[in-house]
Amino acid sequence: MRHSSRAEVDPFIVMDVMEAARAAEEAGRHIIHMEVGQPGSGAPRAARERLVAEMEAGPLGYTVALGRPDLREAIAALYGEWYDLDLDPARVVITAGASGAFLLAFSALFDAGDKVALGEPCYPSYRQILRALSLVPVGLQTDLASRYQPLPRQMSGDLAGLIVASPANPTGTMLDKTAMGALAGSCAERGISLISDEIYHGLQYNGRAISALELTDEVYVVNSFSKYFSMTGWRLGWMVVPPDHVRLIERLAQNMFICPPHAAQVAALGALSPEGRAELDGHRAVYAANRALMLEGLAAAGFDRVAPADGAFYVYADVSEITTDSQAFCAEILEQAGVAVTPGLDFDPVRGERTVRFSYARATADIEEGLARLKGFMSTRAAAE
Amino acid sequence: MRHSSRAEVDPFIVMDVMEAARAAEEAGRHIIHMEVGQPGSGAPRAARERLVAEMEAGPLGYTVALGRPDLREAIAALYGEWYDLDLDPARVVITAGASGAFLLAFSALFDAGDKVALGEPCYPSYRQILRALSLVPVGLQTDLASRYQPLPRQMSGDLAGLIVASPANPTGTMLDKTAMGALAGSCAERGISLISDEIYHGLQYNGRAISALELTDEVYVVNSFSKYFSMTGWRLGWMVVPPDHVRLIERLAQNMFICPPHAAQVAALGALSPEGRAELDGHRAVYAANRALMLEGLAAAGFDRVAPADGAFYVYADVSEITTDSQAFCAEILEQAGVAVTPGLDFDPVRGERTVRFSYARATADIEEGLARLKGFMSTRAAAE
């Protein structure tokens, strides 16, 4: 059976790392996981309890395509708490993860052949989802001077869209209000549709993250229950769309998804309760402690050229003084130090051979052990040279 | 903000019926629901119990993109039980509902502009998902002589794909082995990719449903936990793909979905247990009783030109001797008889103004009451003419 050309997406290199780590564990080794982008914690207790209760109360049938009204209201209220915004719940669209939100947003905004820009390094699936929808990803090279975020002067009239992420994956860097405003203004001027990926909001350590909604209503904002809310496997996210796009998205969602997973919607309501939020804020405190350890420990090990780790749970390091083959270097770290780390190639096909991403989403004891191993590995390596 | 042209999908007319039914209920009326395509029952008790147990045991994080290996194995075993096929679990791909399976299949098989055929009447979202992916749906008119299923002589070389469904929605008709084999052969000859929607398998009343996999491995088979398994809101489905397409689908799924909803995967394992299956077979017995009542009761009410109701939980009636405006006719039935019924326009934009679909997925007492109301309505209507 033949396949389409748009199905030819790149493999994830991090999958090879994960597979190698799994094989090492199966062979009896103890591995510290700094490669994965998911919390070690699960859904809050309040989320699970809510689901147990509602499962007993009646069938979890289809919800309406845009999601349960009570959940849409609870999310709208979050925009009051986090950004002091008065958001109409009618603009909140519950989705099958941020992944589902991107599928809906890209289908709603772009036609086959349209060019969509993204700052590199970035979340690799942006590019692959765009390709699978017959769209053309345009990588904009970013650097430390702009906190690895795209700049208005990189916008051009032949772009149909721009995806920004703040805090970003893999760097953790954030756009401040001025920078976000300048990008939104530049997009509006040129008729470029702006998509703001705010999936790491709630996890920031240098002041609060700015939502693109604070600057404009002419934006698709994407968020998820996978990061701050610690519910990765539940596959639930949301979008906020311009008021005149709600009906359009509703029809697309009815056909492409029918509805977001109902059990996850119920659990999300529990996660948003005061008890749920208190548990989640406890996780954030762990990440904050991990981050402080990471910045100090990585520098001590020799990884001192890092992006400003404003938010999320990553440190992105320039290792160009150590290697020009990040994939081989990460394999070496796994083999010799027993620490799984992600090479930068997934995030930046151009310069990722000289970068690595460290995740600090796991327990603090693991972070301490991982840092000690990395320090030992690097000093042995230096001695050998 | 501008939107894409591919986002301009048709509205669901059934949504208007559902909204009118909801408004009538809010106003205090008692409505019998024969419009919705979902079981009145929820997930089996064994499914819910399994989820409660696994939620307590640890976090439900991301699974691998193709789904949990134990679930893929359990589904492969079902092909032994249902069709006497020895299916390699590696070919089973767990998806975010049948909807997620279609998104993956269409992306994997077709490029922008490709023509994909479907027999009309059919599930309306085929057309809309194809359009959202910049593909061109080609409706093939079918009739009673071929049980409303497409025929090999309707295939042509400019088609990239064909979607068949057996048992079908809205008709309930099935393809027998000869008819399915002829279609598969015709597709193979012309290089047309065959997608077989088998979402209603497990719900058949005239002999067993044939899987396209009994005739060829060169096919994408789509199925779901929403119908026989009674787990609509959980959004879980699966595909069986040719062996040489597994890696391709895996990469697409990693990027487009990350993984299917983990909680739903756990619940599905419970549904597949002997206890779960026993409960589900009980639902099927209810549908079988409902179906017998429907065929007799609808004929008594004057709806005697119906498609062979081989499977699923629908009766599709030709009402051309009663009306040429099925939408107005359904509104009249709702208003005067308090029975919600779906006009055929969603399924067949060409001839659907002269057809209606009755669903018998709810409790038998509701079916009895609905049939009595329909009989009364039709005799009053006839007397008024």
- A chain contacts of residue B41, beta-carbon cutoff 8 Å: 59
CB contact under 8 A, A100 and B97: no
Residue from B115, B256, B347 whose CB has the most chain A CBs within 10 Å, to mutate: B256
Cα of A211 to nearest chain B Cα, Å? 18
Tokens linked to B223: 């199925």
Q: Give pLDDT tens digits for A212-257.
A: 999 999 999 999 999 999 999 999 999 999 999 999 999 999 999 9
CA distance B128 to B153: 25
CB contact under 8 A, B132 and A257: no
CA distance B263 to B61: 9
CA distance A35 to A324: 19
Q: In whole angstroms, what separates CA A344 from the centre of its chain? A: 15
Q: Which residue has the tokens 């033949």?
A: A2
- A chain contacts of residue B12, beta-carbon cutoff 8 Å: 251, 254-255
Tokens linked to B148: 């409303």
Tokens linked to B214: 């009994």
Q: Helix B97-109 crosses helix B246-256 at what angle (to 10 degrees)? A: 120
The complex scores an ipTM of: 0.96
CB A175 within 8 Å of CB A210: yes
Q: Which segments within B154-245 are labelled E, that is strand? A: 161-165, 193-197, 220-224, 237-240
CA distance B78 to B87: 9
Q: Give pLDDT tens digits for B30-78.
A: 999 999 888 989 999 999 999 999 999 999 999 999 999 999 999 999 9
The answer, yes or no, to whether the previous bond of B124 is cis (omega within 30 of 0) is no
Q: Which residue has the tokens 């017998």?
A: B292
Mean pLDDT of B253-273: 97
Residue from A64, A195, A234, A258 whose CB has the most chain B CBs within 10 Å, to mutate: A258
For A59, counting Cβ atoms within 10 Å of its Cβ (0-12 exposed, 13-18 middle, 19+ buried), the class is: middle
Residue A94 CA: distances (Å) to CA of A46, A100, A238, A285, B125: 20, 9, 4, 27, 19
Q: Is the pLDDT of residue A15 over 90?
A: no
pLDDT of residue A168: 97
Q: Is the pLDDT of residue B385 over 80?
A: no
Q: Which of B4, B52, B60 sits opposite A108 (nearest CB)?
A: B4
DSSP B288-336: HHHHHHHHHHHHHHT---B----BTTEEEEE-TTT-S-HHHHHHHHHHH
Q: What is the CB-side half-sphere exposure of residue B372 using CA atoms within 13 A?
A: 8
Q: Give pLDDT tens digits for B96-113.
A: 999 999 999 999 999 999
pLDDT of residue B325: 97
Torsion angle defined by CA atoms of residues B205, B206, B207 and B212, in that order, rounded to the nearest 10 degrees: -90
Cα of B207 to nearest chain A Cα, Å? 29
CB contact under 8 A, B263 and A263: yes
Chain B, nearest residue to A260 by Cα: B235
Mean pLDDT of B153-174: 97
Q: Which of B38, B113, B251 sits opposite A62 (nearest CB)?
A: B38
Residue from B22, B258, B259, B359 whose CB has the most chain A CBs within 10 Å, to mutate: B258
In 3D space, the residue among B192, B188, B228, B182 whose CA is nearest the CA of residue B208 turns out to be: B228
CA distance B121 to B150: 10
B139 phi and psi, to 5 degrees?
Answer: -80, 125
- A chain contacts of residue B62, beta-carbon cutoff 8 Å: 38, 232-233
- A chain contacts of residue B196, beta-carbon cutoff 8 Å: none
CA distance B96 to B105: 12
pLDDT of residue B341: 97
pLDDT of residue B297: 98
Torsion angle defined by CA atoms of residues A331, A332, A336 and A341, in that order, rounded to the nearest 10 degrees: -50
DSSP state of A41: S
Cα of B295 to nearest chain A Cα, Å? 27
Q: Which stretches of A27-120 are DSSP H helices? A: 45-57, 69-83, 97-109
Instruction: Classify residue B273 as left (phi > 0), alpha (psi -120 to 50) or beta.
Output: beta
CA distance B255 to B118: 28
Chain A, nearest residue to B135 by Cα: A112
When pLDDT is cut at 50, 70 and 90, the band that residue B82 belongs to is very high
Q: Helix B274-301 crosses helix B364-384 at what angle (to 10 degrees)? A: 10
Which residue type, as a one-letter code, is found at position A319? V
- B chain contacts of residue A7, beta-carbon cutoff 8 Å: 107-109, 248, 251-252
Mean pLDDT of A116-136: 97
Q: Is the pLDDT of residue A164 over 80?
A: yes
Q: Which residue has the tokens 């968020």?
A: A223
CB contact under 8 A, A132 and B11: no
Q: Which helix (H) or strand (E) holds A284?
A: helix A274-301
When pLDDT is cut at 50, 70 and 90, the band that residue A385 belongs to is confident
Chain B, nearest residue to A225 by Cα: B61
- B chain contacts of residue A132, beta-carbon cutoff 8 Å: 107, 252, 255-256
pLDDT of residue A16: 84
Rounded (5°) CA angle A364-A367-A370? 150
Mean pLDDT of A344-370: 96
pLDDT of residue B104: 98
When pLDDT is cut at 50, 70 and 90, the band that residue A38 belongs to is confident
Cα of A103 to nearest chain B Cα, Å? 7
Q: By percentage, how much of chain B surpasses pLDDT 90?
A: 94
Tokens linked to A188: 């509006």
In 3D space, the residue among B225, B265, B62 whose CA is nearest the CA of residue A125 turns out to be: B62
Torsion angle defined by CA atoms of residues A76, A80, A84 and A88, in that order, rounded to the nearest 10 degrees: 40
In 3D space, the residue among B6, B14, B5, B48 whose CA is nearest the CA of residue B231 turns out to be: B48
CA distance B106 to A134: 12
CA distance A156 to B48: 52
In 3D space, the residue among B253, B220, B242 whose CA is nearest the CA of residue B94 turns out to be: B253
Whole-structure pTM value: 0.97
pLDDT of residue A11: 81
Mean pLDDT of A66-73: 97
pLDDT of residue B247: 95
For A280, counting Cβ atoms within 10 Å of its Cβ (0-12 exposed, 13-18 middle, 19+ buried), the class is: buried
**Number of helices (H) and strands (E), helices first, in chain A?**
11, 12
- B chain contacts of residue A10, beta-carbon cutoff 8 Å: 251
CA distance A239 to A220: 7
Residue from A125, A244, A255 whose CB has the most chain B CBs within 10 Å, to mutate: A255
Strand partners, B222: B197, B239
Cα of A202 to nearest chain B Cα, Å? 19
Residue B245 CA: distances (Å) to CA of A2, B140, B195: 9, 27, 13
Q: Which domains does chain B have, with CATH numbers?
A: 5-42+276-378 (3.40.640.10), 45-273 (3.40.640.10)
Q: Is the pLDDT of residue A370 over 90?
A: yes
**Number of helices (H) and strands (E), helices first, in chain B?**
11, 12
In 3D space, the residue among A233, A4, A132 whose CA is nearest the CA of residue B256 turns out to be: A132
pLDDT of residue A18: 86
Q: Give pLDDT tens digits for A198-221.
A: 999 999 998 999 999 999 999 999
Q: Is the pLDDT of residue A102 over 80?
A: yes
CA distance A151 to A141: 10
The answer, yes or no, to whether the previous bond of A121 is cis (omega within 30 of 0) is yes
